[in-house]
Structure 1
Amino acid sequence: MNQPLMVLAGGNGFLGRHLARHFRRLGYEVLTLTRRPRRFGEVSWDGRTLGPWARKLEGAAVLLNLAGKSVDCRYHAANRRAITRSRTESTRVLGEAVAQCQNPPAVWLNSSTATIYQHTTGQAPANTESSGQIGRNFSEMVAQKWEAEFWLAPTPCTRRVALRTAIVLGADGGALPVMARLASWGLSTPQGDGQQWVSWLHVDDFCRAVEFLLAQPALDGTFNVCAPEPLRNWEFNALLNQHYRPRWHLPQPRWLLEIGAFLLRTETELILKSRKVVPQRLLEVGFRFHYPVCQQALADLLPKLT
């Protein structure tokens, strides 16, 4: 029996590696579209134009698009264009490739981001798929353009799911190793006023959520992919502090974070934006998280960090 094929566009990063391992264990053949193929199972594409890679989608069970320039950079004009275009152009050309298939992929999952929702303060209700408040700042507008390109694709024979994913926590990539290292040096204090909400997800639950969505042929549309219990920034840092117990604690006021972000060529939005998001649709259709509470996720992941 032939293995079902999963095509991962832009799948060489942290999430792509975990998804590839997870689905290979489930018996899938996984093919990665990448700008710099280096090993077996990788195919070259530029994320903008049709090419020989498009034939690989023929008969695929799953297309999953993770392509997009990292937002861990300064938001000057050139980077803003690159961040936006890397998402919209890759999505557009995948839609063109799916549309020309004789036997198109059964399902297409496209990355989006929980950052699409506006900065949520205080005790305001959490953002759900049905009642979330969409923002109008740069990052939020990028997400809206990204999703708009996805839904414009002419793919009537392919089920489509947009994944509004929160910060994914893992021991071998993403944001957690950096945050943990800083916490061990004494930066386990609240960032800014510490009141901003943090929406998050254990990487194992991310892979399981994708698996769950693939197995439910009636599910389509937009899904928040995050744990059901967001927490405050000060609470998240308190969990890191409890684990590392640094000898000293360094304050992190907003003005100091702005200087640090400038020196590190990044943006304070990544840690100061308040993201209060819950996975209403996943919960309604019966998905069960292995790590619904952040304390459980960090207890699993932090001991694995070197």
Structure 2
Amino acid sequence: MTQIPLFAEPGRKIVLAGATGFIGSELQARYAKKGYDVRMISRRPGHISWDDPAAIAEALEGSALLVNLAGRSVNCRYNERNKRDILTSRTDTTRRLGEAVAACSNPPELWINSGTATIYRDARDRPMTEDGGELGSGFSVDVAKAWEEALFAADTPRTRKAVLRIAIVLGRGGGVMTPYANLVRFGLGGRQGPGDQRFSWAHLDDICRMVEFLEHRPDLSGVFNASAPEQVTNAEQMRVIREAYGRKFGLPAPVWMLRLGAVAIRTETELMLKSRWVAPERLLREGFEFRYPTLREAMADIAR
């Protein structure tokens, strides 16, 4: 079993790209606490700019780890402009990083790129694994495929590469837990649509620990499902969330209501109705231990 060191040697460098959101902020804090030299690439003031390839290459030179989380939020209406931005914000940034890594004399040891569990088909009959999962179709799947293709097409033979196909991430202080908690508090925490769609998820802490796990396993590369080993139905999911917040009852939301609500808040019903049944087969096989393997354990931590 791989032991994840609590502290790194002074000066060990990590580069976080597009990592200003929920996952990236947690990774930045964790690696800074462990003594890493953390470099940030984003469009925020004070960070390395995406428009400065020389500075990106300089940051990557001699680094231990590159983690790329760049990508426009999919929590929007899928009009043509937003669809274009969702795609290019992922593929263009990944290609830029590939060019910068290729230009390094001493490139990163490991490049972890974010991916999405949405790449699999709507699954209600069995869980999708890395080896046996069937890819889906449609806009979201096309984006997921292009994102991974951009990573593996980069000509960086001296850098190990891995993709985390990330399921819905749960944690305190942000992410999808804010709208879920609000629904429950206002009595609307019942099943969404039919309620039989699968809800694949992972605790924020376990997502960060997956990054650390892969960093210290030089024998591992390729695609990994970043999802907890327990995948519940939507009806079970909402019941566990209600229990965590001390609510016994929640009104269900039929499909027509979700469609109206999605238009009102400018998002897509796919985010609520697609059945994501994703199993972390490779991580479990390689000895990764989940700190929060069940939704009830995760929600006990989040709702504290």
Q: How high is the TM-score relative to the length of structure 1?
A: 0.94
Q: Distance in 1 between matches of 2:32 and 2:285?
A: 28
Alpha-carbon displacement from aligned partner over 1:218-270 (angstroms, at most 9, x marks no partner): 00000001100100000010012223344863330000000000000000111
Alpha-carbon displacement from aligned partner over 1:194-236 (angstroms, at most 9, x marks no partner): 1100000011111111100110000000000110010000001
User: 1:64 matched to which residue of 2?
Assistant: 67
Q: Distance in 1 between matches of 2:243 and 2:283?
A: 31
CA contact (8 A) 1:95 1:153 kept: yes
User: 2:90 matched to which residue of 1?
Assistant: 87
User: 2:144 matched to which residue of 1?
Assistant: 143
CA contact (8 A) 1:45 1:51 kept: no
User: 1:222 matched to which residue of 2?
Assistant: 223
Gaps of 5+ in 1: none
Alignment of 1:236-251 (within 5 A): 236-246=237-247, 249-251=250-252
One-letter amino acid of the structure 2 residue matched with residue 21 of structure 1: A
Secondary structure of residue in 1 paired with 2:303:
helix
Aligned length: 296
Secondary structure of residue in 2 paired with 1:240:
helix
Secondary structure of residue in 1 paired with 2:48:
strand
Q: 1:247 to 1:201 in 2, by over 3 A?
A: closer
State the percentage of identical aligned residues. 48
Alignment of 1:1-306 (within 5 A): 2-38=10-46, 42-46=47-51, 50-121=53-124, 124-246=125-247, 249-303=250-304
Q: Distance in 2 between matches of 1:259 and 1:291?
A: 34
Q: Distance in 2 between matches of 1:114 and 1:267?
A: 17
CA contact (8 A) 1:10 1:67 kept: yes
Q: Distance in 1 between matches of 2:56 and 2:156?
A: 18
Q: 1:247 to 1:233 in 2, by over 3 A?
A: closer
CA contact (8 A) 2:10 2:36 kept: no
CA contact (8 A) 1:224 1:278 kept: yes
Q: Distance in 2 between matches of 1:23 and 1:166?
A: 22
One-letter amino acid of the structure 1 residue matched with residue 86 of structure 2: I
Q: 1:247 to 1:158 in 2, by over 3 A?
A: closer
Q: Distance in 2 between matches of 1:247 and 1:210?
A: 37
Secondary structure of residue in 1 paired with 2:53:
coil
Q: Distance in 1 between matches of 2:268 and 2:176?
A: 14
Q: 1:281 to 1:248 in 2, by over 3 A?
A: closer
Q: Distance in 2 between matches of 1:255 and 1:100?
A: 52
CA contact (8 A) 1:184 1:245 kept: no
Q: 1:248 to 1:167 in 2, by over 3 A?
A: closer
Q: Distance in 1 between matches of 2:14 and 2:155?
A: 20
**Aligned Cα RMSD in Å?**
1.3
Q: 1:144 to 1:64 in 2, by over 3 A?
A: same
Q: Distance in 2 between matches of 1:125 and 1:248?
A: 29
One-letter amino acid of the structure 2 residue matched with residue 294 of structure 1: L
Deviating above 4 A after TM superposition, structure 1's stretches of 4 or more consecutive aligned residues are: 245-248
CA contact (8 A) 1:114 1:164 kept: yes
Q: Distance in 2 between matches of 1:51 and 1:178?
A: 40
Alpha-carbon displacement from aligned partner over 1:62-119 (angstroms, at most 9, x marks no partner): 0110000000000011000000000000000100000011110111000001110010
| Range 237-246 or range 274-283, more displaced | 237-246
| Range 171-180 or range 224-233, more displaced | 171-180
Q: 1:235 to 1:247 in 2, by over 3 A?
A: closer
One-letter amino acid of the structure 1 residue matched with residue 73 of structure 2: S
Q: How high is the TM-score relative to the length of structure 2?
A: 0.94
Gaps of 5+ in 2: 1-8
Q: Distance in 2 between matches of 1:78 and 1:2?
A: 44
CA contact (8 A) 1:164 1:224 kept: yes
Q: Distance in 2 between matches of 1:10 and 1:216?
A: 24
Alpha-carbon displacement from aligned partner over 1:111-140 (angstroms, at most 9, x marks no partner): 00111001012xx22000000010011101
